[in-house]
Amino acid sequence: MTGFFRAFTVLTGALRVGTGAADDEALAAELAAPDLDWTRLLRMADKENITGALAVSLRRRGLFDDLPRAGREALARRLFMGTEFNIRIKSQAEEAVGLLNSVDCTPMLLKGGLHLFEAPPEALGGRILRDLDMVVPGDALETCVDVLRQAGYVPEGEHDGWTYHYRPLHHKDKIVAIELHVRAGEQRNFITVEDAWAQAVPIEAAGLKMVALAPAHRVMHNIFHSEIQDAGFALGEVCLRQLRLRTH
């Protein structure tokens, strides 16, 4: 087995969920093997934006502390940085949801935004976020944009038309941009707006009102986003980050 496929096999094995004792023992032996190329494995995980998820998975399976020192320290650093980053983004998300609630809007959080509220503290750094995606009712979009702009958010670039989300909204003192959607992604009929809202489930968060796509819709949205919107199927690419729907 070549170095690439060896690292890929170990990486995907480490990210598996629902494993048993025999699987964990086999993986532990692979991770401890002196000829495993940790530089290649970490580079691969970094490229796929799943290094934090890898660290969380190995901790969950009780394999983290026995990793070779170089691999353990590298993963610990990345997970720590991801956790600190996401703590700040979660605070931003809470503030933004509060602002939307203040104008009687209950937003629907998508993708990484959900991770912030669903993951336990030890798994918070398991996913890298680039922005916060929130779906709002189409007839409330203008009001939602206005309340965020009043709080210091500024739309990106010039208005040149848009489809399923408003221009990204940036704040000079915040970590990531906020995208307000009127539907769950580029598609219109795979998950209709009506079905998405009708089957949405509440997100538990003290003092805030927000919802998430129903479990089946989350899987459908993930598949569409990865394979069609991001052209994974057409390009023949397997996106490990999109395959891994949970990190805890």
pLDDT per residue over 56-108, tens digit each?
Answer: 999 999 999 999 998 999 999 999 999 999 999 999 999 999 999 999 999 99
Backbone angles phi, psi at 173, to 5 degrees: -105, 5
> Could you read off the pLDDT of 39-59 as tens digits, one per residue?
999 999 998 889 999 999 999
Supply the pLDDT for residue 246.
Answer: 43
User: What span, in angstroms and rounded, lies between the C-alpha atoms of 149 and 35?
Assistant: 54
Where residue 152 falls (left for φ over 0; alpha for ψ -120 to 50; beta otherwise) is left
Instruction: Report pLDDT for 203.
Output: 94
pLDDT tens figures, 130-148:
999 999 999 999 999 999 9
Residue 114 lies in a domain: yes
**Average pLDDT of the residues in 7-28:** 89
Q: Which of 42-51, 212-221, 227-236 has the lowest mean pLDDT?
A: 227-236
- What's the burial of 66, exposed, middle or buried (CB within 10 Å: 0-12/13-18/19+)? exposed
- The per-residue pLDDT of the chain, averaged, comes to 88
Per-residue confidence (pLDDT) for residue 157, from 0 to 100: 75
Q: Which residue has the higher pLDDT, 233 or 116?
A: 116
Q: How many residues in total does the chain contain?
A: 248
Amino acid (1-letter code) at residue 160? D
Q: Classify residue 174: in a domain, yes or no.
A: yes
Residue 163 lies in a domain: yes
pLDDT at 186 over 80: no
Question: pLDDT-based confidence at 247, cuts 50/70/90?
Answer: very low
Task: For residue 105, give the DSSP letter.
Answer: -
CA 244 – CA 134 distance, rounded (Å): 21
Average pLDDT over residues 6-13: 90
Q: Among 146-150, 173-177, 194-198, 216-220, where is mean pLDDT lowest?
A: 216-220
Residue 63 lies in a domain: yes
User: What is the pTM (predicted TM-score) of this model?
Assistant: 0.86
pLDDT at position 67, please?
94
- What percent of the chain is predicted at pLDDT more than 70? 87
Kindly give the pairing relationship between strand 201-202 and strand 177-181: unpaired
How far is the C-alpha of 133 from the C-alpha of 111, rounded, in Å?
7
Kindly state whether residue 248 falls inside one of the protein's structural domains: no
Residue 35, burial from CB neighbour count under 10 angstroms (0-12, 13-18, 19+): exposed
DSSP assignments along 51-107, one per residue = HHHHHHHHHHTT-GGGS-HHHHHHHHHHHHHHHHHHHHHHHHHHHHHHHHHHTT---
Number of folded domains that form the chain: 1
Amino acid identity, residue 163?
T
Question: By three-state DSSP, how is residue 192 classified?
Answer: coil
CB burial string 190-229: b at 16+ within 10 A, e below: ebebebbbeebeebebeebebbbbbeebbebbbbbbbbee
Say if 23 falls within a structural domain: yes
Angle, nearest 10°, between helix axes 69-102 and 38-47?
Answer: 10
Measured between alpha carbons, how far is 170 from 155 in angstroms, rounded to an integer? 6
Residue ranges making up the domain that contains 206: 3-243
* Residue 55 counted as domain residue: yes
Q: Is the dihedral of CA 83, 87, 93, 96 positive or negative?
A: negative
Question: How many CA atoms lie less than 13 Å away from 128 in the CB half-sphere?
Answer: 16
Amino acid sitting at position 62: G
- pLDDT confidence of residue 248: 38
